[in-house]
Amino acid sequence: MKRPVKLKISIYTRLVFWTTLLLVLLFGAVLFVIQIREAKILQDETKARALLQAQYMADANLQNLSLQDWQAVQRYVDSHSIGDLAYIVVYNRAGQPEASNPLIRSHSEIVSASLLEDGMPPEESASVLRRLVLRDEPVRLLEVEVFAYSPAAGRWGSVKIGLSLESMYAKLREIQKVLLFIGIGGFLIGIAGAAILARRITRPIHRLVDGTVRIAHGDLSQAIVDTSRDEVGDLARSFNDMTSQLLHAREKMDDANRRLVQHEKLASIGRMAATIAHEIRNPLTSVKLNVQKIAEEEGFAETVKAHLGLTLEGIDQIERFIKELLNFTRVQELSLERWPVEQIVDESLKMVKETLAQKKIVVEKACAPDVPAILADADKLRQVFLNLLRNAHEALGSGGKISIACDTVAEGGRTMVRVRIADNGPGIAEKDRPNIFEPFYTTKASGFGLGLANARKIVEQHSGTIAVGKKRGRGSAFVILIPAEEAT
């Protein structure tokens, strides 16, 4: 049975939706309360104004009511029935209507019925909301009636007015429009704010998701950049720490695999070297002795003796190759002693001094005064330096320069002594850099390709590293790192 496909809704969409919904509800509630309060205020103001107008008219007609001058009262009613004052009705002491404006006379239920009852205190008033049709239009009214009295003579009648509420409702509509515009503006601002907030929250999460995808594909090189000081920033930093640890573990694993492959190569070469030594070296020695004996005989032409000399040189070259091969594959114990690295470098330079002088090669050495001593087999390290110096000699032309620098660096929590040997020769091609430390790999016309491979083996036996360094301009550079004595 097919499972139903669930709609995927992103965190960004959810945050925008719920934040906007909450803002809409909050704005709606606030605007509703504001509208209710504004309506209440308008109603109270309108009622107070109507009561004040009615009381003012009662006081203004008190003398006419006491004299029962109904014509004067009628003139007053006709002259003041203007604006939002829809009608005025004046009652005598008995509660009978004596004056009213023409607009309300047709509504006998309004004119004949007084809101005030007998026995009510004179300071009391009465009000009621009405809806009438005046001038063929429906009108909402507030009807207020007050007593006309004097403290000395008592009650003389009452005055009732009908105040139109249409202006009040028009103001309420204006307030509603303003509140509506405020609500729309708040809604739009809320959406924009929710989108910005959601983006700020989800952007680091998207980076984390991208990072997990890269890790799933084996890419541990790129860190997630996030400088926020919240939980998402803590998560990003923890994620970066995790990827750094994974990258370090993978590098260690790759290095271990490389060393394992190297050891397997050395084991294979060792077996092959033993076979060569057994199968070739002994017969080769006999051939060499026989050729030497023949060369010592008299009566051979000079050309024959020259060919015999070339043969002996070829045999010597084969013997050197066998010797280098056996030295490379043979695992020898190191004789570790405390040595200043500068002293080993100086001894190596003395051994090639005359060779370098033949090409007028200049050597510049700069060693820091505070370089600590190392625990090393001086003879083995001397082989490494000699190999690098001879390679530089072969690469340089007349008047070239070799630079040697010794100092210390911190790496992996340890103090390492660094020796940098550089020259201004033609340099190493990019395509050759990954393979120059591999056995039997050489770019020279003559050579066996074991010099740098043997140098790396010796340096790694000292728990160090050797690598091709970066150099500005022409030439090549090799960097050797050996642990200082204090770190061992």
* Burial class of residue 134, CB neighbours in 10 A (0-12, 13-18, 19+): middle
CB of 162 closer than 8 Å to CB of 86: yes
- Farthest CA pair distance, the chain: 180
What stretch of H or E contains 9? none
Range with the poorest average pLDDT among 4-13, 93-102, 231-240, 284-293: 4-13
Dist. CA 33–CA 143, nearest whole Å: 27
Q: Give the other-Cβ count within 10 Å of 86's Cβ.
A: 24
Q: What is the tens place of the pLDDT at every residue in 63-100?
A: 888 888 889 989 998 888 888 888 999 998 888 898 99
What DSSP state is assigned to residue 410?
A: E
For residue 488, the model assigns a pLDDT of 42
**Can you tell me the mean pLDDT for 20-45?**
84
Residue 487: band (very low, low, confident or very high) from pLDDT cuts 50, 70, 90: very low
Q: What is the residue whose two structure tokens read 């050395």?
A: 266
- Average pLDDT of the residues in 10-34: 81
Q: Which CATH class name applies to 337-487?
A: alpha beta
Query: Two tokens at 214?
Result: 């890269």
Class of the CATH-defined domain 12-172: alpha beta
Mean pLDDT of 121-147: 88
Q: What global pTM score does this model have?
A: 0.46
The whole-angstrom distance between residue 295's C-alpha and the CA centroid of its chain comes to 80
- Distance, in Å, from the CA atom of 410 to the CA atom of 486, rounded to the nearest integer, reads 12
- How many angstroms separate the Cα of 467 from the Cα of each of 69, 264, 435, 470? 124, 21, 11, 10
Q: What percent of the chain has pLDDT over 90?
A: 6
CA distance 145 to 167: 21
Domain boundaries, the chain: 12-172, 232-329, 337-487
Instruction: Give the pLDDT of residue 424.
Output: 87
% of the chain exceeding 70 in pLDDT? 86
- Average pLDDT estimate for 440-448: 66
Report the DSSP pairing between strands 85-91 and 154-164: antiparallel
What is the rounded average pLDDT of the residues 325-350?
A: 80
Residues 141, 139: Cα–Cα separation, whole Å: 6
Q: What is the Cα 119 distance to its own chain's centre?
A: 83
Confidence category of residue 4, pLDDT binned at 50, 70, 90: low
